[in-house]
């Protein structure tokens, strides 16, 4: 990684040629560098690549899956194109390997059906076919595919293409779902994850808690110390939450100095205890300001499922509990449900 680099083509080319993976120009804001560091660190916990194989031939499916497994890529196969949508929702693949010619349905037709659903609009689709007609391949790509591989495929090349497409897809997904200042899930993404978590809890008769966190007197911090210090405080709390919460928990920047936390398999009492310990630790942090130090605190409201089942209602109830915590003097946690 190179920082304070001239942003011209030649300088960046020289840095990349020397082995650098990421370059930051002279005018790069520190928050962008922090976001990249968070992004790089988070890769360690990323799940294996997942591919949905759509192939009517069981023999071909087994061969493709065996090839993918050699590179540590997980896969799930379907032989009937009618099963694709359900498999996309249940398996959540990073990429689809689509046979071009199947009984009663071509790969292009299946792809066009997939692209009718917004949640799968950006999922990469690679066609597999013995067809060598260039015009047909171009039409197939124009109608929703990302790449075209001919059979018989080279195993090394297949895995290289799949990995490359998935890496780009995940990078795009991260940039769309994560907040630039903190690296946490953004407003829309955390709400989507909450809805998914509630759906899972309903299927398994599980518990779930939602917490709304707000930094106390944040406007005063910005007015007195400046917005860069306010940003520093937001990033500090984001890092603390990521470090102290469980891997199964979800945390996002809801807006400004507000954070939304989703704690699966936890009732309101358990969530309150977890967040209260984090609250106590945050209150002891010394925030740097030139040659001075100052302290800050946050307040939290907690609500729980299944007492409330609607995602929006859960957030509103947690927000109401947060307001109650503010009314009680701040730097406290109020739990409902």
Residues with Cβ within 8 Å of residue 130, at least 6 apart in sequence? 150, 151
Burial 263-300 (b: 16+ CB within 10 A, else e): bbebbbebbbebbeebbeebeeeeeeeeeeeeebbbbb
Q: Of 101, 103, 155, 149, which Cα lies nearest the Cα of 124?
A: 149
Q: Of 122, 247, 259, which Cα lies nearest the Cα of 183?
A: 259
Q: Of 102, 89, 111, 156, which Cα lies nearest the Cα of 130?
A: 102
Measured CA to CA, the distance from residue 85 to residue 97 in angstroms comes to: 14
Element (H, E) at 77: strand 74-78
DSSP secondary structure letter of residue 268? H
Residue pair 306/320 in contact (Cβ under 8 Å)? The answer is no
Residue 68 C-alpha from the chain's centroid: 24
Residue 257 annotated to the active site = yes
Other C-beta atoms closer than 10 Å to the C-beta of 81 total 23
Q: Of 150, 149, 296, which Cα lies nearest the Cα of 225?
A: 296
Which of these is catalytic: 74, 257, 312, 324? 257
Q: Which residues are the active-site residues?
A: 257
């Amino acid at each position: 990684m190179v920082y304070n680099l001239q942003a011209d083509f030649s300088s960046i080319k020289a840095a990349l040629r020397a082995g650098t993976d990421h370059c930051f120009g002279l005018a790069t804001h520190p928050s962008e560098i922090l976001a990249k560091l968070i992004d790089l660190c988070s890769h360690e916990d990323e799940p294996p690549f997942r591919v949905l194989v759509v192939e009517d031939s069981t023999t071909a499916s087994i061969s493709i899956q065996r090839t993918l497994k050699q590179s540590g890529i997980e896969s799930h196969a379907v032989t009937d194109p009618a099963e694709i949508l359900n498999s996309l929702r249940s398996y959540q693949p990073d990429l689809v390997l689509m046979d071009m010619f199947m009984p009663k349905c071509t790969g292009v037709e299946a792809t066009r059906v997939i692209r009718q659903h917004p949640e799968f609009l950006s999922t990469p689709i690679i066609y597999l076919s013995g067809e060598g007609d260039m015009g047909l391949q171009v039409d197939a790509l124009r109608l929703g595919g990302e790449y075209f591989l001919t059979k018989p495929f080279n195993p090394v090349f297949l895995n290289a293409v799949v990995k490359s497409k998935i890496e780009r897809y995940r990078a795009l997904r991260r940039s769309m779902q994560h907040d630039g200042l903190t690296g946490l899930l953004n407003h829309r993404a955390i709400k989507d994850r909450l809805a998914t978590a509630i759906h899972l809890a309903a299927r398994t008769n599980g518990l779930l808690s939602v917490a709304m966190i707000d930094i106390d007197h944040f406007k005063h911090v910005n007015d007195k110390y400046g917005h860069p210090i306010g940003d520093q405080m937001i990033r500090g709390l984001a890092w603390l939450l990521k470090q102290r919460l469980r891997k199964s928990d979800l945390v996002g920047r809801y807006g400004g100095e507000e954070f939304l936390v989703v704690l699966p398999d936890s009732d309101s009492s358990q969530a309150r205890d977890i967040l209260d310990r984090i609250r106590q630790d945050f209150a002891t942090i010394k925030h740097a300001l030139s040659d001075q130090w100052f302290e800050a605190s946050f307040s939290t409201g907690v609500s729980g499922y299944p007492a409330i089942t609607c995602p929006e209602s859960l957030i509103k109830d947690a927000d109401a509990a947060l307001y109650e915590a503010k009314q009680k003097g701040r730097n406290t946690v109020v739990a409902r449900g």
